[in-house]
């Protein structure tokens, strides 16, 4: 859930440390721990990508061969080589991920590859997805976070008006955010000040 809300840093580190303690010997062998991490990696990748060092450590250990994971890894390491991997991730169904998570991750990889217009389009897909109101659905958090990342993508593409609109929508969507979301709201507010003509 932390990744869906854009919360990284110390909070993310603490939660990952807690997870590692849960999966430590003697309860689990190192091999079992690796298998558990491989099994959940795609489900928690929205949180992992918030911290490039954490994501890189998981990638080094796990070597996951799923197209969306590879697209994220390559867009972080070699952005100029990433676009074909983003296309492969688009073309490959990923049953372990919800549609909201899949579009969010593909948008993140596209942005990392420098394909900012396409990234904004992928983040926009979250607006039209039906989300579950009866049980926890990461899509609710990812939808709000995607507004911020969409705004950044539009800004990087030079689409100032669309960037401004997306930053404003993010501010409205996160108006009641708890203290963990305040940093993202401050970032969006600073971007709005920068983009608004005086």
Residue 126 belongs to domain with CATH number = 1.25.40
**33-75 pLDDT, tens digit each:** 888 888 888 778 887 787 788 888 888 888 788 999 999 999 9
Cα-Cα-Cα-Cα dihedral sign, residues 20, 26, 30, 31: negative
State pLDDT tens for residues 101-124. 889 999 999 999 999 999 999 999
Its domain, for residue 136, covers 3-195
This prediction has a pTM of 0.84
Residue 148 reports pLDDT greater than 80:
yes
3-state secondary structure the chain: CCHHHCCCHHHHHHHHHHHHHHCCCCCCCHHHHHHHHHHHHHHHHHHHCCCHHHHHHHHHHHCCCCHHHHHHHHHHHCHHHHHHHHHHHHHCCCCCCCHHHHHHHHHHHHHHCCCHHHHHHHHHHHHHCCCCCCCCCHHHHHHHHHHHHHHHHHHHCCCHHHHHHHHHHHHHHCCCCCHHHHHHHHHHHHHHHHHCCC
Q: Quick: pLDDT tens for 68-100.
A: 999 999 999 999 999 999 999 999 998 888 888
Q: How many domains does the chain have?
A: 1
Q: Is the peptide bond before 26 cis (omega within 30 degrees of 0)?
A: yes
């Amino acid at each position: 859930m932390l990744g869906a809300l854009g919360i990284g840093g110390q909070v993310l580190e603490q939660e990952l440390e807690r997870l590692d303690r849960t999966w430590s010997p003697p309860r689990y062998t190192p091999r079992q721990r690796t298998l558990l991490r491989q099994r959940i990696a795609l489900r928690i990748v929205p949180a992992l990508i918030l911290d490039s060092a954490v994501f890189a450590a998981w990638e080094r250990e796990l070597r996951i061969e799923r197209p969306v994971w590879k697209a994220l890894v390559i867009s972080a390491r070699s952005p100029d080589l990433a676009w074909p991997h983003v296309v492969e991730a688009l073309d490959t169904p990923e049953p372990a991920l919800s549609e909201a998570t899949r579009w969010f991750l593909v948008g993140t990889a596209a942005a990392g590859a420098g394909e900012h217009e396409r990234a904004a389009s992928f983040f926009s897909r979250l607006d039209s997805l039906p989300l579950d109101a009866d049980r926890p659905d990461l899509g609710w958090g990812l939808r709000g976070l995607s507004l911020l990342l969409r705004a950044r993508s539009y800004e990087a593409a030079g689409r100032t008006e669309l960037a401004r609109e997306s930053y404003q929508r993010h501010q409205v969507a996160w108006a009641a955010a708890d203290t963990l979301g305040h940093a993202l709201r401050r970032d969006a507010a600073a971007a709005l000040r920068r983009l608004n003509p005086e």
